[in-house]
Homo-oligomer: A and B are copies of this chain.
Amino acid sequence: MAAQHSDAVTAAIADRRRLVNEALPDDVPIVFPERLYEASRYLLDAGGKRLRPTMVLLAGEAIADVDPLSEDYREFPLAGGIDLMAAAVSIEIVQTFTLIHDDIMDDDEMRRGVPAVHEEFDLETAILAGDTLYSKAFENLLETGAAAEHSVRALSELAATCTEICEGQTIDIGFEDQDAITEAEYLEMVERKTAVLYGASAAMPALLAGADDYVDPLYNFGIDVGKAFQIQDDLLDLTASTETLGKRRGSDLAENKQTIVTVHARQQGVDVTDLVPDDDISAIDEATVEEAIERLEAVGSIDYARDLAHDHVASGRDHLQALPDNEARDRLGDIAEYFVEREY
């Protein structure tokens, strides 16, 4: 990606992140009982790149064919005027609820540089905070002011997406006890665990506006780049520095997680399970991790994953051709590139 594109996409995300951050306290206010809402807001307030709500907002600008950041997201010129920000926040809320529950399941102690919600508060409060955000996401999506028949479709999409995320998580957990996962199985898991929420993000403005022609192209764009996003996440676990990751690299290998890299390596005859022979990365010396990664590089698995991520980005960008040719559409394409270029 050329430097100017890189700057444009960084700015596009930063501008919308700021607006989303401003909107969050309005849409998820801290009310009685305060402890519940403080826990619900804790991870929301701890940061995050806000990539999914950014995608909602940009997709809205693309199909409304307006200049980026020229319109008030709270009174956005689609279908007579809708609160597009409410939909964007709704998606971020869903993402946050899944993280809170994931951290309980994985017993992860840190998230976004702060203690996980179940660490900062307690298990009960963390489960309830996740459950509260879950319904808040639906409540918020009901506040866009869209026509009822469009709201119903948007809610249906959000509910189906939440179900699929749970399915994807379950499939992913099941993979840890299986050796021979095919690439198709891996990609199906990633589609549900990660990509459907990007699909819902991109399609949401079209659903709320009843802009039927744009629903499928935007959804498919989100699915493709969502898969690319996850593949890049898998790659970063192997290639990024400990400093950038905030944890030791290779931890997925230690935990025997299935990634596209390990799926490919197994097909090349690599005994992936024994590459890093301990569940706990902190018990492994750096040389062993280095050697494992060199082996994955040698059999071409890292390049294969990188190529596959780029293929998905290209496929995703193709779907955008169905949209009006405008700056917002270009930024959506840039974000897709950013997903596979990012280093954290």
Shortest C-beta distance, A60 to chain B (Å), equals: 20
Of B123, B158, B170, which contacts A33 at CB under 8 A?
A: B170
Cross-chain contact A101 with B125 (CB below 8 angstroms)? no
- Chain B residues lying within 8 Å of A130, measured Cβ to Cβ, are 131
Cross-chain contact B138 with A174 (CB below 8 angstroms)? no
Q: What 0/1 pattern do residues 30 to 52 of A give for CB contact below 8 A with B?
A: 00110110000000000000000
Of B132, B151, B162, which contacts A167 at CB under 8 A?
A: B132
Cross-chain contact B166 with A128 (CB below 8 angstroms)? yes
- Chain B residues lying within 8 Å of A151, measured Cβ to Cβ, are 148, 152
- Chain B residues lying within 8 Å of A123, measured Cβ to Cβ, are 104-105
- Chain B residues lying within 8 Å of A142, measured Cβ to Cβ, are 152, 155-156, 159
**At the interface, is chain A mostly helix, strand, loop or mixed?**
helix
A124 sits at the interface (CB 8 A) = yes
- Chain B residues lying within 8 Å of A167, measured Cβ to Cβ, are 32-33, 36, 132
Cross-chain contact A131 with B171 (CB below 8 angstroms)? no
In the bound assembly, the distance between CA atoms of A166 and B139 in angstroms comes to 14
How many of these chains are in the complex?
Answer: 2
Shortest C-beta distance, A240 to chain B (Å), equals: 27
With A142-B155, A151-B152 known as contacts, the answer to whether A163 contacts B132 (CB < 8 A) is yes
- Chain B residues lying within 8 Å of A322, measured Cβ to Cβ, are none
In the bound assembly, the distance between CA atoms of A156 and B101 in angstroms comes to 24
A160 sits at the interface (CB 8 A) = yes
- A146 closest partner in B (C-beta): B152
Cross-chain contact A105 with B131 (CB below 8 angstroms)? no
- A40 closest partner in B (C-beta): B166
In the A-B complex, list the 5 residue pairs whose CB atoms are closest, starting with the nearest.
A135-B162, A148-B148, A138-B159, A148-B149, A36-B170
- Excluding A35-B170, A148-B148, 14 further A-B contacts by CB distance (< 8 Å) are A33-B174, A36-B166, A36-B170, A101-B131, A105-B127, A125-B173, A128-B170, A132-B167, A134-B134, A136-B159, A138-B158, A142-B159, A147-B148, A152-B155
Q: Can you list 6 contacts pairing A with B, beta carbon distance less than 8 Å?
A: A36-B166, A128-B169, A135-B166, A138-B158, A138-B162, A148-B151
